[in-house]
Structure 1
Amino acid sequence: MYNESDSNFICLPSEVLAYYNLKKVSKYRNVYCVNCGEKGHIIRDCNGPITSFGIIAFKVVNCPEDEEYDKNAALDDIIVQQSGSEKYYFPKYNNEYPKIKFLMIQRKDTMGYTDFVRGKYTNSETLGEEIIKVCLNEMTRQEKKNLLTKTFDQIWSELWINHDSKCFKNEYEHAKKKYLQLDIQKLVKSSHSSFDFQEFGFPKGRRNMKETNISCAEREFYEETGYDNTSYDFIKNYPTIQEEFVGTNGVHYRHIYYLVKMKQNVSPPKIDTTNKIQTGEVQNIGWLTLDECMLLIRPYDTAKKSVIRNVYYDILQMKNNFVCSNFYYSNNKRGFNGSYSTQCRNSL
């Protein structure tokens, strides 16, 4: 512990500190923060929540022919498996029309597995152990098996489909050093919950430099689903949907979504195996009813469950009379406020 009277400790007068703070603000006066979009600071000095932008897409199914190509064997298997579990209640499938469906993606790897392998946990012994425990409890059985049977280099190579990415090259040494310090056998054995499938969520991602919120959301939606902005229309005057939560790592996250309605006769969603961007993040994609969404979203992801439930009831209130636009427009009048706050871990 330092002592202010210690001659080795330099304490700057408050007026000097104020001067340097002003100089810093002046230095970054015209600098744009990629995270919050405000000027005056850079991303590492941003006090706002880590922000991502995405799109929640829905369609109205008026008859069996409208969902003829929605069949997805892999998703159906998961739904059957989950609906047969005592942990979940799944109401009888509703064959009444019209019905609303949402486009959801399934992650290639769980957040817990990704963060664990990348070493995204603090070096603090107590907090670090807690975060590692959460990471392990979010992993699938297969991911835990990977930790026990594969080398770090094998795991790292499989985690990154695109070996030309900056993350693959720049994070390798740091991540491997942290990984090799862990007792993997002991950690896996002490973990409790095990999932059989990776998380489901909505397409979203971080903004690039000088990219607008809308442009970011549209780009991420295209990269993860293959649908460009000619495939959907925005719901006019519908405010942005905000999902906010604090992760168990203590980090504040904000996901901002735009609501869109898919156009008719759009081709069925699919995974393009030649697209490294998509396959590096997404393993499956499909149209799901509200009940199916609630079934597949992880139990602890209460923020996402609240968002999709409220959006669903807002769509019902529109009574199939949708005012659409090919660009986002909102007059900020009274309407839906999709901001939810919950204590849960980072989600897709």
Structure 2
Amino acid sequence: MAEEKNTLIQTIGRGAISNTTGRFESLYQEIDLSNYGWHDPEDETFLKTKFYCDTSKSILTENKSPDLPFRFSMNFYRGCEHGCIYCYARPTHEFLGLSAGLDFESKIFVKENAPALLREKFMSPRWQPESINISGVTDCYQPAERKFKLTRQCLEICAEFRNPVTLITKNHLITRDIDILKDLAKDNLVFTLLSITTLDAELGRLLEPRTSAPLARLQAIEELAQAGVPVGVNIAPVIPGLTEHEMPAILKAAAEAGAKTAGYVPVRLPYSVADLFTEWLEKNRPGAKNKILNSIRDLRAGKLNDPEFETRMHGFGPRADQMAQMFNLFSKKYGFGENYIPLSTTHFHRLGEQLNFFNNK
């Protein structure tokens, strides 16, 4: 039975305004306000985040998309408290019988066994070392990471086995792990990306309410660069009609902070994300709603989403070409290289194998 949808609670600090009905739900129930303590003056009615145990039996997901530069990825959290209203991963919560709206950012499933699963994977003789991407779906440094520290634990395991890893995040919390990242960097085993959508702090607060502010992300780039950790910037998503004009300024600021690579991805709005984003526009940018939605359609062959390989990452048509030209012009101006740096796999080792070697001497 579908869970009740409480769309009337205060959503301060959240990206979504409501809970949309999931694609796989056959029943929607109206809520009984008496069950939610609205009569109780002690009830703040702010939506609180709840954490649940994810009992996954594996930690690595194999990517078969030809437009992504990695084969394996790890995600330690299902759902993301950052609450980015445009997030393409929101519909994944519908497979759990939950909503892509408020549920996605307030009901977080935690893979507490991730470090043990990763160690088991690396110890397997079948594992051939190659770079693993962290945060292919949800952000590995979202607020839950402060409590669970799964990203840090798995980075420690990557450092122990000397397996290369890439990370992408919108959160300054990545600087907490600079000690491990520096250790990985000395053997060319790590590459980091900070994703920046806008330099407008107020717009960022509305678009992505629980991420780090734009200035904090630039500070993270600077701290990583000064520590010798390879770092780049990813302008993602670029929202035509809303943030597209900021691309040159973001590239300039990131270059000054020490980023060496740059990339971008235009926004796409799969499934219920289109409704959630439209609802967000109606509340926060009502006068520009149609302009923004039509600008996205100009990139996506008349649609708000494009699931096709290659074109989903950069769009299609004259508007997409203009965006690419602007990015290429300013990327070259500020001296950026390719968005991903090849990492080394030659340092990988299993501690048990070393012990066996010495025992056999």
TM superposition score category, shorter chain reference: under 0.3
Query: Bigger relative contact order, structure 1 or 2, given CA contacts below 8 A and separation 6+?
Result: 1
| TM value normalised by structure 1 | 0.26
Q: Which has the larger radius of gyration?
A: 1
**Greater strand proportion:** 1
**TM-score (norm. length: structure 2):** 0.26
